[in-house]
A and B are shown apart, each in its own frame.
Chain A
């Protein structure tokens, strides 16, 4: 009985916290510009949907585009690394530099040189997202069964046959693992870059911009509502990439 309730535990805790929060705000009479009750946030979600939903779409669009760009760049660079140790030794430190430099610090520069806001935000999000794909795919390509590599050599396989029929399929589970980490990072990158961009975002106004804007107007319930959407987007991306892995690798894979 208790074991069957286990998956519901996080939901129960969430509901308890929301109920406590709602009660606290009601009993203390806290005004919504200090701390809005959950019901007030829900109301804002609904009433401001005309502003928040397009913003959600913009953020998701940037995240998805950044994830695709990061995947292409990461896999491409990983393939280059595996072909030549010299290329890896020459370029890998720069990939690490890109990874360890906070995107908030890079974003203002990117915004100067990439004038179109959509592309600027995409660039920032892709920089944050690309390292896990690169690192995991490189590791996967290198982890190819040495016996199978010998077998390919024995039967005279060419370089592209080795890559297409052996190394890439071997690296696929590693790549998908990296992609799941990158999915979350792309969203973080997109949001953080938009914060850094501030009012320059213009037409490409995502959720982060709406949070900033609502903050300036002391519209705290809308800030919370936008935050809820960011969190939901993150969960949706995580679940979608998990499902993608299961479909590609088959059900028996973890």
Chain B
């Protein structure tokens, strides 16, 4: 679906975030980019989203640029606007008529389990609920690709596990291709179909781990011995990427 070919990105202050970064994303897969802090993971997402341009190399979409949604580490909501208005924002910016945009927002709000909170303000919601609003907003424009930048990192463990489960379900229902960035080995193994390990800055792909475990995951997947083994293998290659002895 998407290929990055020898992508390089340097910032005005001389820091090179990415160098010779190449990988492919298959349609419908959930791909995790795992790496230490400051390795340019977020920059990869910003390049894919078109918020930044590569300084060398290129991004190639197999069939033109699809609809892309982006979920940030924080919920990133407009505090003055209701849940419905926040979720409908992408449609409003696209000039979709009010009736249709409210109907589609209501549908997205229901999908993430927040029916009944459409008129609430972000300040009245918990951190997990705010993240759900952010996810509903990502779904509302019917994206083909979902980019997520450490989306649940700021949440508590229980909420995070729950949202991880829901996310896999939504991705399958909506036939989404998901690329997400994380520094959590456990989250990447649980959530992803495939993990790419990035080196410290300048970031490039140094290891690849397909995750066995099928589409349906849940508490049983986490309890299985295969899960721990895969976490161990991914941790070892992350340590190698960091230049440590595993």
Contact = CB atoms under 8 A, between A and B. Distances in A.
Interface residues of A, number: 18
A157 interface: yes
Contacts of A166: 78
Nearest to A155: B93
A250 B80 CA distance: 10
Contact of A161 (B80, B81, B93): B93
B68 interface: yes
Given A150-B51, A150-B70, A252-B123, A156 B93 contact: yes
A154 interface: yes
B49 interface: yes
B74 A151 contact: no
Contacts of A148: 76, 78
A172 B81 CA distance: 13
Contacts of B94: 155-156
Kindly name the residue among A151, A153, A156 whose own CB sees the greatest number of chain B CB atoms within 10 A: A151
B90 interface: yes
Contacts of B121: 250
B186 interface: no
B51 A172 contact: no
Contacts of A156: 93-94
A145 interface: yes
A202 interface: no
A169 B89 CA distance: 14
A161 to B, nearest CB: 6
Interface residues of B, number: 20
Contacts of A157: 93
A151 B123 contact: no
Main secondary structure of the interface of B (DSSP, over half): loop
B53 to A, nearest CB: 13
A165 B88 CA distance: 13
A92 interface: no
A137 to B, nearest CB: 16
A148 B81 CA distance: 13
A21 interface: no
Nearest to B93: A155
Interface in B52-89: 68, 70, 72, 74, 76, 78, 80-81, 89
B51 A154 contact: yes
A145 B80 contact: no
A54 B141 CA distance: 60
B38 interface: no
Interface string A233-254: 0000000000000000010100
A147 B90 contact: no
A147 B51 contact: no
A119 interface: no
Contacts of B51: 150, 153-154
B93 A152 contact: yes
Contacts of B50: 154
A154 B80 contact: no
A151 B92 CA distance: 12
Contact of B89 (A145, A147, A151, A153): A151
A120 B70 CA distance: 53
Contact of B78 (A150, A169, A252): A169
A254 to B, nearest CB: 13
Nearest to B92: A165
A250 B89 CA distance: 22
B80 A172 contact: yes
A197 to B, nearest CB: 42
B80 A151 contact: no
Given A150-B51, A150-B70, A151-B89, 20 more contacts: A145-B76, A147-B72, A147-B74, A148-B76, A150-B46, A150-B49, A150-B72, A151-B90, A152-B93, A154-B49, A154-B50, A154-B51, A154-B70, A155-B89, A155-B93, A155-B141, A156-B94, A157-B93, A166-B78, A169-B80
26 contacts: A145-B76, A147-B72, A148-B76, A148-B78, A150-B51, A150-B70, A151-B70, A151-B90, A152-B93, A153-B51, A154-B49, A154-B50, A154-B51, A154-B70, A155-B89, A155-B93, A155-B94, A156-B93, A156-B94, A161-B93, A165-B92, A166-B78, A169-B80, A169-B81, A250-B121, A252-B123
Interface of B: 46, 49-51, 68, 70, 72, 74, 76, 78, 80-81, 89-90, 92-94, 121, 123, 141
